[in-house]
Amino acid sequence: MAYSVDYRKRAVEYYHEGNTQAEVRAVFKISPATLRDWEARYEAGELKPNYPKTRKKRKLPSSDELIAIVEQNPDAFLREIGDDFGCSHQAVSKALAKLGITLKKRQSATKSVASKNANDSKKR
């Protein structure tokens, strides 16, 4: 949670009155980096906090378009789908998870490996 502009202004003005940084930090319970940041903002004339921060919107199209792409290219990597839409593979993964589309699964063993394992276990 951000400190109010009034609180920031009082802390910086207290420092400009001749008090040391240690005294300001003790009275206002702030870190040295916070005091430096507030002082720089005060000099620039803007003590307002950067909050609320906004998130970037995902670049994925509608769910219908995403489903169509996955149906057309079922073997496509998430990276490739992300490149098509100009977003990361994590965004594609999250969008597919919301749609209930899971990644393709690999069978635990192919026929040749399964038969080899069965033969090995019989020998023991």
Examine residue 104 and state whether it is found in any structural domain, yes or no. no
Give the integer Cα–Cα distance in Å for 94 and 84. Answer: 16
pLDDT tops 90 at residue 3: no
Examine residue 76 and state whether it is found in any structural domain, yes or no. yes
Range from 14-18, 50-54, 74-78 carrying the lowest mean pLDDT: 50-54
pLDDT in tens, 21-69: 999 999 999 999 999 999 999 998 888 877 666 666 666 767 888 888 8
pLDDT in tens, 86-99: 888 888 888 888 88
Examine residue 77 and state whether it is found in any structural domain, yes or no. yes
pTM: 0.43
Half-sphere exposure of 42 (CA within 13 A, CB side): 18
Examine residue 117 and state whether it is found in any structural domain, yes or no. no
Examine residue 106 and state whether it is found in any structural domain, yes or no. no
Task: Check residue 104 and report its DSSP letter.
Answer: P
Per-residue model confidence (pLDDT) at position 61: 67
The total number of structural domains that make up the chain: 2
- Domain hosting residue 33, numbered range: 5-44
Among 22, 35, 33, residue whose Cα is nearest residue 10: 35
